[in-house]
Amino acid sequence: MFKASILIALMAFAATGVQADKKIVCYFGSWSVYRPGLGNFQVSDIDPRLCTHMTYTFTGITTNGDVNILDPWADLPNGGGKDGFGKFTALRHLSPGTKAMVAIGGWNEGSLKYSQVASDPATRARFVQNVVKFLKKYDFDGFDVDWEYPNQRGGHPYDKKNFVALLKDLREEFDKYGYILGVAVAAAEGSASQSYIISEVSKHADLINLMAYDFNGSWNKSTGINAPLYASASESPGLLKLNIDAAVRYWLSEGAPPEKLILGVPSYGRSFTLANANDNGIGALATGPGIAGPYTREQGSLGYNEICANLREGGWTVVRESDQRVPYAFKGNQWVGYDDVTSVLEKAKYINSMGLGGAMMWSVETDDFRGTCGSKYPLLNALNSVLRGNVVVPDPDPNPSEPTGSTGSTGSTESTRSTSTSTEPAPPSDFVCVQEGYVRNPHDCSTFHYCQKLDDKYLVSTFHCPTGLAFDPSIIACNYKDEVSGC
């Protein structure tokens, strides 16, 4: 049962390493309002309590320096529109400390227009004034520049200096009004070194949102994980820098202040179609992108809400890569590398260990925001539990009598290999619930149960700790056996 295993993981990690000043930046992809079925996401689905900063994406730019509203019907109230901007900023009433920002750019906007505006001082100055007017008009707290990427995709070498000039001009004007300035930047050294003078960018931005994902994807000819934390010992020398740790250390070495670095965590995975279903490890030959999911409808990418639903249906094998510290899953010729609660918890601990400013999620609408697989926003809650010591209590399951499946993981970062199933194993015949909560199996220390009272009966869900661990009632989590009383 996903919900109970997630909550156990959160409780186990929440007690360690919490730093209340950490930031959690929640990006919202506004096009998700058009998604079908359970993937349909409205502004009202955002839980601002889980974010220190929320960022609405995207606006665009024109070559004469205007801020271009890309989807007026979704963003504005005019003519019966959905008033996305207004509803988004109104979320601050539910969480007064949360800042509401808006982003310009993104992959689909390209690079050329930004290069043109930034290269001309007069147009650049006009753009800065237009940004300030925009923020005032729509009541945003700040602005996020997501130029993908200076000196790439049709840009020019002088973009690197002009990007700094643009940020400097924005900074000077923003300081008059107290606006926040964020940037979303390429993470890996190979791309970042082409686009940024990092020490200069760092002087002007409040938030440096490191897009630490898309290290691998279906543009490769073989499978690879979307956002590995560390390199794998089996990787070729050319791939050793395509991971979070290498990217973070590069940015720090180039002068980025750690407290400004906000580590990006993806709520989606990158998927592939295997050339041979029996060759299904990392580096296996792929023929192209994986099949599109029912909500995101994009080949080669699956939201976490789509991935967890697939795992619930059964038949998938889940493998946790011991070096890279992230899972992948395969079924037939379909393969996906992604992040789950366990890997997100470890990344949050990494943020604390490196003294980084916090985490950002791209993007909240592909977390399990409905709680279809268990608790709502499991990945975002995992970040909060470690970075802020805060877990927003989820609503009860909409249909608690229906079994939800189990992956057998309770948040340990030990390497495990397991196959998900669509039904939960039954408790032993002599097991009896006497009250709600977690209880260890009297015959097996590695097995535990969750008793949930429904009317006058109990629904019992059964879980297993990873190999070598035992359930410890004193911390309500799996622990090493020699540290668990009675085992």
Catalytically annotated residues: 148
For the four alpha carbons of 301, 390, 474 and 345, in that order, the dihedral sign comes to positive
Residue 381 near residue 47 (C-beta atoms within 8 A) = no
* CA atoms of 443 and 194, how far apart (whole Å): 59
By DSSP bridging, strand 53-61 and strand 99-105 are parallel
Q: Where are the alpha helices (DSSP H) in 120-188?
A: 121-138, 159-174
Q: What are the start-end ranges of the H helices in 254-366? A: 304-313, 341-354
Torsions phi, psi for 213 (to 5 deg)? -155, 180
- Please give the Cα distance from 98 to 121 (Å, whole number): 34
Answer for the pair 99, 52: CB distance below 8 angstroms, yes or no.
yes
Preceding omega of 377 cis (within 30 degrees of 0): no
User: Which amino acid makes up residue 93?
Assistant: H
Q: Which residues contact 169 (CB under 8 A, 6 or more apart)?
A: 124, 125, 128
317 within 8 A of 236, measured Cβ to Cβ? no
The answer to whether 415 touches 318, Cβ cutoff 8 Å, is no
CA dist., res. 258 & res. 351, Å (int): 9
User: Strand, helix or coil at 183?
Assistant: strand
Helix (H) / strand (E) containing 169: helix 159-174
Residue written as tokens 């949360």? 98
For tokens 């109104």, name the residue: 90
* Other Cβ atoms within 10 Å of 83 Cβ, number: 16
Cα–Cα distance for residue pair 411/409, rounded to 1 Å: 6
Query: 325 with 313: CB under 8 angstroms?
Result: no
Measured distance CA(337)–CA(268) in Å, rounded = 9
**What's the token pair of residue 305?**
């809400």
Token readout for 277 is: 């279903």
